[in-house]
Amino acid sequence: MTQNIRGSLMRKINDEVLNLKNSPLYKYRTENNFLPVIGEGSQTAKIMFVGEAPGRNEAKTGRPFCGMAGKILDELLTSIKLPRENVYITNIVKDRPQNNRDPNPEEIEIYGPFLDRQIEIIKPKIIATLGRYSMDYIMKKFDLNSELQPIGSAHGKMFDAKASYGPIKIAVLYHPCVAIYNRSKLPILKKDLEILKYH
Ligand code: URA
């Protein structure tokens, strides 16, 4: 797939999400002048990070992980010398849920197919899930239901799966916001990220 085709498929996703009037989050977005957050980074990335849903800073700027959780993610990427521009970063849900609440099943169902299309465009070799919603969605998508476990035991583990375009690895990580209120968790997050180091 050429860069041009990837770019136009991504723009199509952007346009569709922008006009996603049947989303329960559409009204909240437009009333608050928020932007959808489609994703950011290299469209040929080997590693794709998938978070949950945009927070306030993200919905204001249209960029994923640019607030406090983003600072932690940047720190984690730096710790394994992985430049942010070399990876692709996105979320399952592309619009901000009210008051930073967790995304609900209806929202995941509406926005999930856009993430599925992004995976087919980028064709990452590794998907790093950030938080339990992302872990659940991605592991189920790649037929890893039998390996599903609470994130407290799954974090830091890598699972082999099969994508439509070939083998893929799923790296399960805690959500970076875990370290916002509890900096003592940062070493655990950094250690988990090391599973990405040699890929
Ligand atoms: N939390 C997420 O899950 N995604 C973002 O983009 C920001 C915070």
Using an 8 Å Cβ cutoff, are 84 and 75 in contact? no
* Ligand 1 centroid to residue 52 C-alpha, Å: 6
DSSP H helical segments within the chain, as ranges? 3-18, 26-31, 56-61, 68-79, 105-122, 132-141, 151-154, 186-193
Pocket test for ligand 1, best of 52, 60, 88 (most atoms within 8 A of CB): 52
Q: Is ligand 1 within 6 A of the CB of residue 39?
A: no
End-to-end CA gap in the chain:
22
CA distance to 3, 5, 13, 28, per residue, from 8 (Å):
9, 5, 9, 27
Q: Give the pair of three-digit tokens for residue 65.
A: 């992980």
Q: Label residue 1 by pLDDT band (50, 70, 90).
A: confident
**Averaged pLDDT score across all residues of the chain:** 97
Phi, psi of 130 (to 5 degrees): -115, 105
Residue 105: the pLDDT is: 97
Summarize pLDDT for 17-42 with one digit per residue, the tens: 999 999 999 999 999 999 999 999 99
- ∠ CA(107), CA(138), CA(71), 5° rounding? 80
Using an 8 Å Cβ cutoff, are 66 and 57 in contact? yes
Summarize pLDDT for 102-139 with one digit per residue, the tens: 999 999 999 999 999 999 999 999 999 999 999 999 99
Q: Is the pLDDT of residue 160 over 90?
A: yes
Residue whose structure tokens are 């006009």: 19
Q: Give the pair of three-digit tokens for residue 179.
A: 């370290």
Residue 181: the pLDDT is: 87
Pairing of strands 88-91, 40-41: antiparallel
* Ligand 1 centroid to residue 55 C-alpha, Å: 6
Q: Does domain 3-196 have CATH number 3.40.470.10?
A: yes
Q: Is the pLDDT of residue 199 over 90?
A: no
Q: Is the pLDDT of residue 89 over 80?
A: yes
Q: Is ligand 1 within 6 A of the CB of residue 49?
A: no
Give pTM, 2 decimals.
Answer: 0.97
Dist. CA 90–CA 39, nearest whole Å: 4
